[in-house]
Amino acid sequence: MTWEVFARQAYDEPLHHVGALNEDDEDLALVAARSIYDEQPWIQMIIVPRTAIREAISA
C-alpha cells in the first residue's frame, strides 16, 4: 500500500506533503515515515493511504 506523508514544523503552518512510502501495514508505515522523513524538526506528521485521497478539481 502506498502512503502519502504530510508534516508541519509549527502549528501555524499548513501541512506540507513531504513524500510517500510503501508499506503493507499501517504501524510499519508510521515507523517508516518517522525514520525516512526525519530531516526536519516536525511537530506533527500524518500518513494517509493514497487510496483515501480524493480529487477536488478535475480538468
- CA 50 and chain centroid, separation: 10
pLDDT by residue (tens digit) across 1-59? 999 999 999 999 999 999 999 999 999 999 999 999 999 999 999 999 999 999 999 88
Q: What local confidence, expressed as pLDDT, does residue 37 receive?
A: 97
Q: What is the pLDDT of residue 3?
A: 98
CATH numbers and ranges of domains, the chain? 2-52 (3.10.20)
Q: What span, in angstroms and rounded, lies between the C-alpha atoms of 30 and 46?
A: 8
User: Model's pTM, two decimal places?
Assistant: 0.90
3-state secondary structure of 11: coil
